Structure 1
Amino acid sequence: MQVFKYIVLLLAFVLPVFLKADTELHFRDGSPEWHNFLHRKIDSMPSLKNADSLHQVLINHGFPNCDITSGIIEGSTIIDIEFGTEFYIGSLIIEGDLEDTIVCNKQFIESEYEILIDSILQSFKDQGFYFVNLLAQSYQADNNRVNILLYLQTGPIVEVSSAESAGIKKTEPKLLRCYLEIQDGDSLNSERIAESWERLKSIDFVSSTDPPEIIPEPGYNKARVRFSLSEMKTINIEGAGAYIPGDNGDLVGYLNFGAHNYFGGGRILSLLIDKREKNRSARQLLYSQPLFLLGYGRAEFMLSTRDYRNQFYEFSLNGTYNFEIGRNLKARFNLGWKDLEPGADIFQAYDVYIAGFGIDMGKMDKKFNHDPQFLFGWEIGYYSRHYKADGDDSVSTRSDIYDTRNKIIAQTTLNLFAFTLLHLKINFLDVSSSEKPLPISERFLFGGLSGLRGYRNDQFSARRLLIFELEPRLYFSPDNYFYPFADAAYYEYYNLNESGNFGKFDDFIFGYGFGFNLNSESHSLKISLSWGEDTPFDQPRLNVGLSNNF
């Protein structure tokens, strides 16, 4: 303890002397810009307050002949600096398999030199000379210019003997080759190899962390490109439940079973069971697999039902082909058919034939990202509604109806400050039809988590609908956040007016609440409380969602 006391007393006397000591820079030459540069360097990095560190700084910035000395005068450290001549790279003189002279006029520093050499090598690699070599032979000083003599060995043009995927068991190699930008017999090209690797990393059924391996064959005129991959086989179980308050409170929710690449080949099979209200339920069976008709694409086939008891029963088949047009630009075609059986709001059964087209631009995820994100989607659908004969009639008493539907979604995520993002979303839906009012099965049903939180699922129906969502997200880790939210909807619909005719009405409603989104590598938990416009504060809607990957 006595030793510790003496050490503390010694520090108490000595430390202030060091803290008080100043470091002064004396310049014998150099421009004011370089003087300010060194002052800023020392202010930002106090560890540079010595001759050796500053000497290395100046060498790294084009002053190889600089002279720096230091000494202590009256308790202050004096660093005397002579910059000397600032050297530049004058020319790169290339000899060997190709003779050329490149005038540079760049600072004579290592980083600039490496950029120049890499650009020369890359130009040859892009032509197929993948194993090109460029060595510095000598340096020639000419005043403040340094000319560098280089020796170039291009080697042969390298051909890809095979582009192979290692680590794959269930997925066929020929499927993965469809994603590659480089194929067997192509010239070995680093840019196309990098693009192929990025493409493989974007696939949702494989993962790749190690960069591609280039394996040269004897003679160095051929090489194998090996991509190390691992298949992502998951069984996904996702569900959510909500409690509807009131005198006769009820539980609603959904359960989704999914097999993602469990059978290999990027195939997806899922079953959705959705209880939306006490007398409203839906079922959906989905199958999806990669398909390369117009480039990178995926085909989806869906069988679904909607059972709305006294309103209607719907059975539908739908096929969609999604494909990429460019980076962050996708398109899709859609064909479908559905059969509607009548309920209290429909007087005749009918069939609907559907054809549609849509595009999506941008990219968005829920992870914390300082960069703004944007996603825009537009979809148009043409619907032909054919009414069936009623009862014993052999011919329908109603003519065919043709509808046109438009759907626009625009959303963005902006960084507000620190770890807070602002998520904004606008959803516009519209149907043009000669039939007024539309059967309830042909209207846009909204309310609940899928649109306008704070209300029952599918509580409202509309012919034209505009939904706004405002959601600040306060992140406490890259994947987890707390969010308050406010939703609003403007919608139009047809209903009986005072004269007994159908007239057009509109309304504006809003909801609000807050929630948590918690995620790990294989699990996610979503909890939210929401209120509608007239919901008592002590009767919020509680939504709990859970997802697990096995």
Structure 2
Amino acid sequence: MRGVGMLLDSFNVSMRLKTVLLVTTALLCVVANESAFGQAREVSEIKFVGLKHIPPENLTHVLSVKVGDVLIEEDLRERLTNDMDKLWQLGFFARRPEFFYEVDERGRWVVTIRLVEHAVVKEIIIEGNTAIATEEILSVMSTKVDQILNKAVLARDIERIRELYRDKGFLGDVESLDFEETTGKLKLKLIEARITAINFAGLKKTKEKILRMVLLTKVGDLFNQKRLAEDWRRLSNLGLFKSIEIETRPDESGNGIAVTYKIEEQRTGMASAGIGASSRGEFVGYIMLQENNLGGLAQKLRLGAEFFERKTWEIYYERPYVNSRGLMLSTHIYNTRFYREPRTAWLISPQQWVLQDTLFTEEREGIRLTLRQPRSKEDRRTWYTLGLRNEDVSFAQRRYVGGTLQEVGPTQSQGRVMAVQFGYERDTRDIQFDPSRGQNSIFNIEIATKVLGGDHSFARTYIEWRFYRPIGKGTLKVTRELQIPRSLIAVRLMCGTAIGDLPIFENYFAGGPENLRGYSIDRFVGKHMIVLNTELRYRLNPNVQLVLFGDSGDAWGGKYAVDFEALLRGVEKRRTSMEPKYGYGVGVRFATPLGLIRFDYAINDEGKSKFHVSIG
């Protein structure tokens, strides 16, 4: 038994020795392994696993770990972790990149990066777009068919789509996107903001229904900032409001836009009466009633009369928006008197030339009907006009004798004029009453014929072009919606010509504040006319402007266009060709409810000067 015990003790000692040896060996292996990974080692290889379409060299430049770097494990792991962030941000991969590393047989680092690429885009589907065509949306996207999907690029594409909508005045966004990795189908679903309510605040006289006819934007339409700006311009051009502000906000549902027009109305009615002496030495009384917003429907009515030595009257009525398209109707019934002041005139009786202090008293009694139709509901900048004129005309020739205006010969009837007018107008001005930019082009042709019952047959053509452009960067704030330039250039070109049996009162006249400043009103007369006006305008404030101007032009042709200088020499000679006349000067403009009141001081090319006052 004693021998057995000794054997057992010997066995236990042996087992303990083996256990110690095993533990010691394990510890030595761990220490050895830690020594292997803890020491600085060279990176011998970087392998990419899972690439199908992306060349490895396109990725290595992103990594901070390079082949040949000598790194300890801690630095290697930290750099690779950061590099995985960089690779993920490239946008090419469906899952976040992963890495692992090991030591090769020569004691160097071998790095393996596992990647899962997005599929190649085989089809791009755009849904929900109504404002902008799919082709135009695709054209701004960098993501293309037959390219590997890149979510970073796609994110930039979404911002480009938003910007495309903003540039066109819309509000649009990508509501959702889906990419099927198995089929390569990329689907973008867009959402576009729509107008869900249009409200008006501040109206007292004007009816909402006429304003809703004026507006281009309707409830249910896509929200469009440019269309709202056009609506602001349309409302402003009614001439009924002091200020208009547009407020936009999300509606209660959060899915649409509610628009509110905050309007301050201005006085639209005017009544005046008076008694006085005219510049012609006449004792005149007058009365005028005018309303520019009759019934709150933007209708215009003007009643006017003069009495005592000058007896005239007129009734003018204008109704806009006769139909939803924007047809405008105007009627003018009148018995009026005009004064014409050509420098030379052929006396009615006796037939001789007078050289100064001569004028015509021109009386017209009749009616004019005019229809103006815009090209469409959307395009109310292009207008077509049809007009009818039926009037009797007579005139007496007068001159100053001893400071008194006296008739020279009897009043002469010139018969009836029956004419039809066709017109075209293209108006891109921002504000019609005091524009800062844009153009206005007018073409009219009027045909008078005996076939319609008149006493004369002739045709007159008239062309007018206006141009406005800001200069400099200075602006004035008028309202929250409107800022106007301080300085601008304004140009107007007028051309007219006539053929046929043209009575004197249907000739063109040049001279005076409306065309050729520096000369007397109607100084030049003829069957043809060209006048060019150029102005440099500077606004001191929204209601006051300073002006430098230059005018050039002439009226010539026909039996009434006489060469005044030749006549002074006793030679009767017709002015058969244009001889441009010039005027230049300074002026000031005041904006009023009646329109612009203009004061101009001009000097002509004969060295004489004139002071002009006009309205409009």
* 2:604 aligned partner: 532
Instruction: Pick from 516, 526, 529 the counterpart of residue 587 of structure 2.
Output: 516
* 1:81 aligned partner: none
Secondary structure in 2 aligned to 1:338? strand
Q: CA deviation at 1:525?
A: 4.8
Identity of aligned residues (%): 13
Instruction: Pick from 410, 413, 425 the counterpart of residue 468 of structure 2.
Output: 413
* 1:336 aligned partner: 389
Q: CA deviation at 1:519?
A: 4.0
| Cα distance, 1:485–1:172 mapped onto 2, change above 3 Å | same
Q: Name the CA distance, whole Å, in 1 between partners of 2:318 and 2:293.
A: 10
1:196-207 aligned at under 5 Å gives the runs: 198-199=230-231, 201-203=233-235, 204=238, 205=240
| Cα distance, 1:137–1:431 mapped onto 2, change above 3 Å | closer
Establish whether residue 492 from structure 1 lines up as the match of residue 557 from structure 2. yes
| Cα distance, 1:121–1:250 mapped onto 2, change above 3 Å | closer
* 2:301 aligned partner: 269
Q: Name the CA distance, whole Å, in 1 between partners of 2:541 and 2:449.
A: 49
* 1:403 aligned partner: 458
Q: Name the CA distance, whole Å, in 1 between partners of 2:606 and 2:164.
A: 69
| Cα distance, 1:504–1:528 mapped onto 2, change above 3 Å | closer
Q: CA deviation at 1:409?
A: 0.8
* 1:457 aligned partner: 521
Q: Name the CA distance, whole Å, in 2 between partners of 1:447 and 1:88.
A: 73
Q: Name the CA distance, whole Å, in 1 between partners of 2:327 and 2:363.
A: 33
| Cα distance, 1:274–1:334 mapped onto 2, change above 3 Å | farther
Q: Name the CA distance, whole Å, in 2 between partners of 1:215 and 1:342.
A: 65
| Root-mean-square deviation over aligned CA pairs | 5.7
Instruction: Pick from 359, 367, 378 the counterpart of residue 317 of structure 1.
Output: 367
Q: CA deviation at 1:210?
A: 2.3
Amino acid at match of 1:189: L
Check the 8 A contact 2:599/2:613 in 1, yes or no: yes
* 1:298 aligned partner: 328
* 2:21 aligned partner: none
Amino acid at match of 1:378: F
Q: Say which structure, 1 or 2, has more relative contact order (CA 8 Å, 6+ apart).
A: 1
Post-superposition Cα deviations, 1:418-471, rounded to whole Å, max 9, x if no partner, equal 7754433221111211x2xx3322222332111211222233322111112233
Greater shift in the superposed pair: 333-342 or 169-178: 169-178
Establish whether residue 430 from structure 1 lines up as the match of residue 497 from structure 2. yes
Secondary structure in 2 aligned to 1:176? helix
* 1:480 aligned partner: 545
| Cα distance, 1:89–1:270 mapped onto 2, change above 3 Å | farther
Q: Name the CA distance, whole Å, in 2 between partners of 1:317 and 1:444.
A: 21
Q: CA deviation at 1:356?
A: 0.9
* 1:171 aligned partner: 206
Secondary structure in 1 aligned to 2:206? coil
* 2:612 aligned partner: 543
Q: Name the CA distance, whole Å, in 2 between partners of 1:158 and 1:429.
A: 48
Check the 8 A contact 2:165/2:172 in 1, yes or no: no
Greater shift in the superposed pair: 451-460 or 329-338: 451-460
Post-superposition Cα deviations, 1:139-171, rounded to whole Å, max 9, x if no partner, equal xxxxxxxxxx9997979x9896x7554443433
Amino acid at match of 1:462: G
* 1:38 aligned partner: none
1:308-387 aligned at under 5 Å gives the runs: 311-325=361-375, 326=379, 328-341=381-394, 343=396, 348-364=413-429, 369=436, 373-384=438-449
Secondary structure in 2 aligned to 1:441? helix
Q: Name the CA distance, whole Å, in 1 between partners of 2:310 and 2:581.
A: 23
* 2:261 aligned partner: 228
Alignment size in residue pairs: 417
| Cα distance, 1:517–1:495 mapped onto 2, change above 3 Å | closer
Amino acid at match of 1:202: R
Amino acid at match of 1:233: Q
* 1:142 aligned partner: none
Q: Name the CA distance, whole Å, in 1 between partners of 2:156 and 2:296.
A: 48
Q: Name the CA distance, whole Å, in 2 between partners of 1:385 and 1:446.
A: 28
Q: Name the CA distance, whole Å, in 1 between partners of 2:231 and 2:558.
A: 45
Q: CA deviation at 1:259?
A: 3.0
Amino acid at match of 1:298: M
Establish whether residue 118 from structure 1 lines up as the match of residue 183 from structure 2. no
Check the 8 A contact 2:394/2:412 in 1, yes or no: no
Q: CA deviation at 1:238?
A: 12
* 2:131 aligned partner: none
Secondary structure in 2 aligned to 1:299? strand
Secondary structure in 2 aligned to 1:382? strand
Higher strand share: 1
* 1:210 aligned partner: 246
Instruction: Pick from 175, 190, 194 the counterpart of residue 134 of structure 1.
Output: 175
Q: Name the CA distance, whole Å, in 1 between partners of 2:487 and 2:188.
A: 54
Q: Name the CA distance, whole Å, in 2 between partners of 1:132 and 1:387.
A: 61
When Rg is computed on C-alpha atoms for both structures, the one with the higher figure is 2
Q: Name the CA distance, whole Å, in 2 between partners of 1:457 and 1:425.
A: 18
Q: CA deviation at 1:494?
A: 0.8
Q: Name the CA distance, whole Å, in 2 between partners of 1:132 and 1:481.
A: 47
* 1:195 aligned partner: 227
Q: CA deviation at 1:503?
A: 6.8
Q: Name the CA distance, whole Å, in 1 between partners of 2:416 and 2:293.
A: 34
Post-superposition Cα deviations, 1:478-511, rounded to whole Å, max 9, x if no partner, equal 662331323321421215999x999774452524
Give the structure-1-normalised TM-score: 0.58
Q: Name the CA distance, whole Å, in 2 between partners of 1:133 and 1:298.
A: 43
Secondary structure in 2 aligned to 1:425? strand
Q: Name the CA distance, whole Å, in 1 between partners of 2:435 and 2:414.
A: 49
Give the structure-2-normalised TM-score: 0.52
| Cα distance, 1:285–1:293 mapped onto 2, change above 3 Å | same
| Cα distance, 1:212–1:439 mapped onto 2, change above 3 Å | same
| Cα distance, 1:271–1:453 mapped onto 2, change above 3 Å | farther
Amino acid at match of 1:425: R
Check the 8 A contact 2:385/2:424 in 1, yes or no: yes
